[in-house]
Structure formats: C-alpha cells, structure tokens
Amino acid sequence: MSKIFEFSGHNEFFPGGPMYPSSKDSGSFLSLHPRVDGYFPPCKRARVGTPVVACEGLEPKKKPTIEVLPDECLFEVFRRVHDGKERSACACTSKRWLMLLSSLRRDEIFSNKSIQPSEPKEMSDSGMKADIKSDKDGLVQSPVAESKAAYQDAKDEGYLSRCLDGKKATDVRLAAIAVGTGSHGGLGKLSIRGNNSVRGVTDSGLKAIARGCPSLKALSLWNISSITDEGLCEIANECHLLEKLDLCHCPSITDKSLMAIAKSCPNLTSLTIESCSKIGNESLKAVGACCPNLKFVALKNCPLVGDQGIGSLFSTAGEVLMKVKLQSLNISDMCLAVIGYYGVALTDLALAGLKNLTERGLWVMGNGKGLQKLRCLSIIDCSGVTDLGIEAMGKGCPNLKQFSLRSCTFPSDNGLVAFAKAAGSLESLQLENCHRITQAGLFGILVHCGGKLKTLGLENCIGIKDLAFECPLLSPCNSMRSLWIRNCPGFGNASLGVLSKLCPKLVHVDFTGLHCITDDGVLNLVLSCEEGLVKVNLNGCVNVGDLAVSAIAKQHGETLETLNLDGCGYVTDVSLVAIADHCSVLCELDVSKSRITDSGIVALTEAVQLSLHVLSLSGCAMVSNKTLPLLLKLGSSLVGLNIQNCPGISSSGVDSLGEKLWRYDVLS
C-alpha cells in the first residue's frame, strides 16, 4: 500500500510528487470516513496549515451561533430592532424568529421615540419623577412615557386592511401581518373568514395581532371554531382603539371575552353577533354600560340572548343607539316595550324572525313615544304582526320615511291604509309576501299617503286581483317617482290603468314577471307619464310586444337610460328600429329571448346618437354570425356584452369576438 503514495508519473492523480513525504504520514488520509470516495486537492502548492477537507457525513452540521441563544436572549435582541424593514427581514429568516417577533408588544420595543437622555424628568400630571430604567448602552427609558408614545402612535395609525379567507387563514400569516404592517401605517381592519382545516387560526395568531397591532379598529371573525376567549381577551387588553367587532359562527367565544372588550374598548361603535351559542345577556349588559359611543347593534340567532339582555342594552345605551337589527331571538313583547320607551336615538330598526311577538308588542312599542327619530323600519317574518300594531307604529313614529313589511300573514288593506294615513312623512313602502293586500289596499295607500310617498313596491302578493275599478274622484299622488310590482300574478291591465291615473310623475317602473299585462296596459302608463321615464323593466312580461316598446321609445327616448325586455317574446326588429331612431341617452339594453334578428342589430349600429354601454342578446335564436362585425362596431362604446345561448353564433365566432373585445366583459 505504501507504494501507492510514492507513485509518480504522467498519469498520477496528484501531480508534483508524493502526497506525503513518508508512508507514516499517510495515516491522516487512511483515517478518513469509510464513505469518502477520494481526495483531490488543487494542483497548486498546498498552503501550510490547510486542514483536510471533510466530506458529507463526517461531522454533524453546526447551527449558526445566534441560533444557539435561547428565546429569552433573542427576545432582548429583537427588542432593539426598531426599524420596520429590519424587523420584516428578521421575520423572514425562520418561523421561530417570526413567532418571537410577533410576540413583542409595541411598548416593549426600543425605538427612537422611547430612548431619552439620562436625566430623569418629572411627570407633568403628578409632579413625581418617572421611573427611569438604564439600558446596557448607557441610555435610559421611561416605561410610562414609552407606553404613552406607543398609544399615541397607534391612534395615528390604522390605515391598512387585511382579509384572510379559507386556507389562507393561519397563525403564521397572522404573525406575518402583525410584524409587517407596523411600519406601513398600522393595521386598522382585519377580517378572517373560514378556517384552515389543517393549520387553522388559533388563539396564538390572534394574540400576535393583539400585541403587534394596537391600532386595530375593526375585527371580523366568521366561521371560526378554534378561537376562544383567550385570544379575544388579548385583543381587549391590547387593542383599546377597537371600534367595530363582528362575530359570526364562533361557538367557542363566551360572555367573558365580550365583557372584556366592552370594558377595555370604550370607542366601540358597532357590534354584530350571529350564531354564537355561548354569548348571552351578561355581555350585552356590559356593552350597554361601558360603551358610550355604541351606534349599531345586530344580533342574530343567539339562543342565550333574551329580554333581559336587550332591555339592559337599551336602558343604558338607548340615548346613543341609532341602528339595531334583531333576528331569530327568544324575545317577547316586553323587549319591544323597552325599545319603544328607551330607543330615543333610534333611526333604523329591523325585526326579523321573532316568533314570540304578538299584536300587543308592536302596539306598546308604537305607543311608547320614544321612537320619535325613527326613519327606517323593517319587519320580516313576524307572525304576530297585525293591523292594530302597524297602525300604532305609524302613529308613534312621526318621522318614519321607509317601511318594509315582508312575509307577515295577518296585515290587510285596513291596516296598511290606516298606517299610510298616520305616517305622514312616509316616502318608501315595500310589501312582500303579504297575501291579504288587495287592489283596494294598493290604491288606498296611494290616495292616503300624505303626498310624500316616492317609492312603492309589491312583490309576490297573490291577493291582488285585476278587477274593474273606477276612480274618477281620486286625487293623484304627484310625489310618486318609482313603482315596482314584481311577480304578482293577478295584476293586469285594469290595475295598471288605475295606477296610470294615480301616478302621473313616474320615472322608474319595474313590472317583472307580470304575465297579465299587454301592450294596451303599458300604453296607458306610457301616455300618462308626464315626466320622462328613465328606467323601464319589463322582464318576463311575455305578452308585451313592439307596440308598447315603440311607444316607450317615441315618448321617452330623450330620457330613457335603461330598458329591460328580457323574455318579451313578441319584441322584434321593429322595436330596435324605434329605439335606434328615438333613444339618444340609452346606456343599457336587454333584448334576451326575443325575436330580434341581424337586421335589428344593423339598425342599432346605424344610430349615430346611440352609445350603448351594456347589450344583452342572450337566447336570441335568430341572431347569427353576421352580427359579429356589427357588434365590433358597437364595441367602441360597449363595456358589457352577453351573447350566451345564441345557437346562430358559432364558437369560433365567439372566440374571435372575445379576442377583439378583450378589454370588455363578454359573456358567451
């Protein structure tokens, strides 16, 4: 073996002589790990003292020196990294560093604002010397001053918004947000929707946000079961500027954390709680007592919330509460009585799905004389609502301007007419799924509304029947501007003729799904409108055709901006010619499922004054590929085009059109 190390020649693997002067020195080579394949030093003369190169597996890989430090030492190091970019760079090094940086509170970080000269100063408010603590660099720091500076910085920040949905919602991302947003204006709004089933958001992530983002003003947690009171209490302890809290489907959060929020966040103005099974009356008491700026409260499907909680909330915060929504709660008439007495600041009130309410509840609330400022009232799916309660609300709310009644079985014509008489300031009335309302009630509302009603809407009211009704002595409602009647199968030409006389100032009309009206009924309305129609929706009016559309174009072409003829099977190219000739400001046109052909599109393209923004030809069977060049011509003004379900247009034609109109929204 020693001969090998004395080998020299043209093919030697180590040119220039033996590797070692004697065979005894070869032990250092032979002692290498068995897995070593060979040793090939550079051809140049070896430097003195150069160690033998160790190969893979010879020695364990050593950690960087700083990684040997325990978390406590790294924590002290990171406290002195005050520059935002440097902190972000450190956070990118490893998950361990990220988590350590995210655990730092704002008042624990040494910054230029928190480093003061070594002379102690006296506090102006108490005259006592501040507690001064020396740093190893010879600088000193006042914890009290530092805390005040951090709080002031938080007040001046809070411009950024972050939203994590589904798989993106993890603790690591929250930690990164906590570290990264501090130097870019501060986090002001955070929304977490859904959860990652493998690495979901926990209390640790929420704690990182609390410690690193004291400027947080809005927090929304939706469909998160892994966050408990521990995380939300940390938000309460650190984020004193919180103004909006939204909790939806958070089953692990209880009254404890919400009470902590109420006591620590006096700036809270908006509170939404939905489907939180462990939140009840105690937290609402605390919110009402400790949040003097509370303006908005929405409670939905919380089984532990009852009369006591709502009553305490209104009795303590009724002077500031302006908007309240109560849905699917176990509350009774007593709760409505409290609202009617203490809700002196209420402007918007929504009651939905309250099965325990009776006629007495609304009557007492209306007679409580406390809802003088109420402007908007919405009652949805409350089976105890009757004519007596509606009339009482009209009398007790003199400034009510908007009233919406949906899916309530018992209100009839008498109650609605009495309400219209009492509510002298009413401007908007919407009725949906109120099947006891008939033609007489509809006309009675228009006659007795006090001359201020601007919007009237009926939807899915099957009690309206098209009966012959003469009203020669009825005074018109000149304030009406918008009328929409949707999916009321009994509404026909006779009812539309009466409405034409009662509402001569209409600007917006919507008759979606009215199969009984024809060209004659629409003509009566069109000719009676003294003001120019701006929006007309005849979607689903299968018996309306060219006669009515041509009249609309001729009479109101100078003001008409939106025209929807979707499903009007009798509309042909004649209507498009009239539109092209008379409509100068039309922006949106929908002729889906009509009988138009390529000739009608030609008429549209030849109209110089027409500048369509949205055009829908969906389901037009007689439109072909010949239309494509014409649509390209219209493309100079179009921003939206719908050519779905057009069998006459080939797929290749659709592709070529999409390529040329790539800037626009093309549905094909």
pLDDT in the model for residue 200: 79
Question: What is the per-residue pLDDT for 117?
Answer: 42
pLDDT at 336 over 50: yes
The residue extents of the domains of the chain are 1-61, 532-668
pLDDT tens figures, 534-571: 999 999 999 999 999 999 999 999 999 999 999 999 99
Q: Which of 121, 178, 110 is nearest to 146 (CA)?
A: 110
Q: What pTM was estimated for this model as a whole? A: 0.78
Query: 130 falls in which pLDDT band (50, 70, 90)?
Result: very low
Mean pLDDT, residues 123-136 taken together: 37
Chain centroid to Cα 161, Å, comes to: 12
Q: Does residue 504 sit in helix, strand or coil?
A: coil
Which phi and psi angles does 471 have, rounded to 5°? Answer: -140, 60
Q: Report the amino acid identity of residue 344.
A: V
The CATH classification of domain 532-668, taken from the options 3.40.50.2020, 2.40.110.10, 3.40.30.10, 3.80.10.10: 3.80.10.10
> What does the mean pLDDT of the chain come to?
82
For the range 604-607, what are the long-range contacts, defined as Cβ-Cβ under 8 Å and sequence gap of 24 or more?
Answer: 604/576, 604/579, 604/580, 604/630, 604/634, 605/630, 605/633, 605/634, 606/580, 607/579, 607/580, 607/581, 607/583
For residue range 283-312, what is the model confidence (pLDDT) as tens digits?
A: 999 999 999 999 999 999 999 999 999 999
Q: What is the pLDDT of residues 572-608, one digit of tens each?
A: 999 999 999 999 999 999 999 999 999 999 999 888 8
Q: Which of 61, 58, 13 is nearest to 38 (CA)?
A: 13
- H or E, element range at 247: strand 244-248
Instruction: Write the pLDDT tens digit of every residue in 19-45.
Output: 444 444 444 443 444 444 444 444 444
- The contacts of residue 525 (CB under 8 Å, 6+ apart) are 496, 499, 500, 506, 509
